[in-house]
């Protein structure tokens, strides 16, 4: 197996296993078996489990950004683009394998013991707030509204995961619309 395909096999297997069961519940031997490579080869590709987790989270950020951008591209105004975040969330919450935010899950499980996990989670959340803030400002709101709307999205993710209620996305979208409209009028 070539290096790139072996690396991809490990990251794909790790993403699926870590997201469905948690990082600590998945041993390196199980991960190696799921990826279809030897343990020696896996450690040659990735020096540690922390490195694998960090790379999986990088991949999750890329997928998150792609899916958010694809949903936003369906709309024209900054206001509609902000609200489209919640359309993306609604669709994601309804997927069979939805288990909440991988960043929140990983940070809660390992943030205190794996600095790479904490760094990846911090970076992902910071970039999301920056994205939402940019759109909120373009929609005519003060920058603080971006953080407020990002918090609605974060709360919707947590609520949907814990209570298994995908309608959290539409409730958060309604609140975001109120925030946008309140600030744009003033």
Domain with 12, as residue range(s), is 1-47
Q: Clarify whether residues 121 and 37 are in a common domain.
A: no
33 and 71, same domain (yes or no): no
pLDDT score for 1: 57
State whether 91 and 166 are in the same domain. Answer: yes
Last residue of a domain, one of 47, 66, 81: 47
Q: What is the mean pLDDT of residues 139-146?
A: 96
Same domain, 107 and 21: no
Each residue's pLDDT tens digit, 150-181:
999 999 999 999 999 999 999 999 999 999 99
Q: Are residues 56 and 39 part of one domain?
A: no
What sign results for the dihedral spanned by CA atoms 91, 82, 120, 105?
Answer: negative
* Residue 68, domain CATH: 1.10.357.10
Written as six digits, the tokens of 40 are 């020696």
User: Which sign, positive or negative, has the C-alpha torsion 150, 20, 166, 63?
Assistant: positive
- 56 burial class (0-12, 13-18, 19+ CB within 10 angstroms)? buried
pLDDT confidence tier of residue 121, bands split at 50, 70 and 90:
very high
Same domain, 69 and 29: no
User: Model-level pTM?
Assistant: 0.91
């Amino acid at each position: 197996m070539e290096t790139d395909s072996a690396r991809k096999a490990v990251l794909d297997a790790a993403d699926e296993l870590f997201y469905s069961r948690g990082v600590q519940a998945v041993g390196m031997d199980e991960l190696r078996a799921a990826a279809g490579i030897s343990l020696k080869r896996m450690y040659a590709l990735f020096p540690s489990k922390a490195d694998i987790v960090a790379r999986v989270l990088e991949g999750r950020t890329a997928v998150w950004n792609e899916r958010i951008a694809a949903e936003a591209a369906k709309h024209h105004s900054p206001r509609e683009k902000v609200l489209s975040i919640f359309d993306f969330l609604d669709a994601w919450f309804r997927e069979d394998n939805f288990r909440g935010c991988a960043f929140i899950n990983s940070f809660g499980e390992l943030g205190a013991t794996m600095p790479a996990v904490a760094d990846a989670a911090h970076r992902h959340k910071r970039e999301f707030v920056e994205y939402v803030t940019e759109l909120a400002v373009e929609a005519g709101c003060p920058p603080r509204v971006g953080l407020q709307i990002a918090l609605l999205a974060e709360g919707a993710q947590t609520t949907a995961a814990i209570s298994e209620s995908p309608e959290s996305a539409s409730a958060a979208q309604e609140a975001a619309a109120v925030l946008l409209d309140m600030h744009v009028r003033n």
